[in-house]
Amino acid sequence: MLLVRRITLISLSLLALLLISPLLMQVVFFRMPAYSATFDCDDATLLMMERFEEMGITSMPVLGNLKASGEQYGECDHVWLLADILGKQRAFDRGVYYPYGQHYEGYLLSKEQLLFFVAQDLEPSMVASENPAGP
């Protein structure tokens, strides 16, 4: 138990250091690939979510529109992550920490919903009626 606690404290300390340098966090901690036809915002969010899970940090994907406040579900065009770090929600987008702003608005998704969005990129034949995220 003590070893797990020590590893968690070390991990959180490293994460705090990485929060200071967004580029360091993006390149070193998340090893974030460049955007491509097969790697976009939902893939980046899943990668971040899995990295945080490995450290014992819970997180939730968020679907929203960074160009609009109070957006309707159909206006959403981006996915990012809210991680619970030291009791506070912290927004991460493509491996970069956002301490405030539009990244704290949107629709919370489950991991299953995020996995659906990732699979949809790979299988364009999936129809919206199969979407667990709703209309």
- What confidence tens digit (pLDDT) does each residue in 37-91 have? 778 999 999 999 998 998 888 999 999 999 989 999 999 999 999 999 888 999 9
* Cα 105 to Cα 55: distance, rounded to the nearest angstrom: 25
Both tokens of residue 16? 């705090």
Express the helix, strand and coil content of the chain in percent, nearest 5 each.
45, 20, 35
* pLDDT tens-digit map of 87-133: 899 999 988 889 888 999 999 999 999 999 999 877 655 444 455 55
Long-range CB contact pairs, 18-23, < 8 A, 24+: 19/90, 19/97, 22/95, 22/96, 22/97
Q: Are 41 and 78 in contact (CB under 8 A)?
A: yes
